[in-house]
Amino acid sequence: MPITLTVTAKGQITLRKEVLEHLGVRPGDRVDVDLLKDGRLRVRAKPGKPVTTIFGMLARPETPRRSIEDLNEAAAAGWAGEE
C-alpha cells in the first residue's frame, strides 16, 4: 500500500516513522536518494556509522570527564592569562 507524503511550501517532505523504521534509520543516520529516469525515487539507508559515533572518540580512560562549567572556567582563565 502506498504511503502519501505532503510537500511543504519550502519543497520539503518528512518521512513518516513507519518509513524510517522500514529503512532501519534513526536520528543522525543518513539516507541515499537515487533519482530514476521514470520520475521515481529510490530511498535507502546509507551504510556506515551515524555521525553521533564520533562523540567521545578522543576521550582517554585515564582522563577525568569535565563538565561544561569546568570547560567554561578553564577557557575564561586562559583568556585572562591565568593558566
The confidence score (pLDDT) of residue 59 equals 75
pLDDT of residue 7: 94
Q: Which of 32, 29, 31 is nearest to 49 (CA)?
A: 29
Give the pLDDT of residue 70.
87
Nearby residues of 35 by Cβ (< 8 Å), 6 or more positions away: 41
Gap between the Cα atoms of 29 and 46, Å rounded = 8
Residue 80 half-sphere exposure toward CB, CA atoms < 13 A: 8
Mean pLDDT, 10 residues at a time, over the chain (83 residues)? 90 91 86 93 82 71 82 87 72
Given this model, what pLDDT does residue 67 score?
Answer: 84
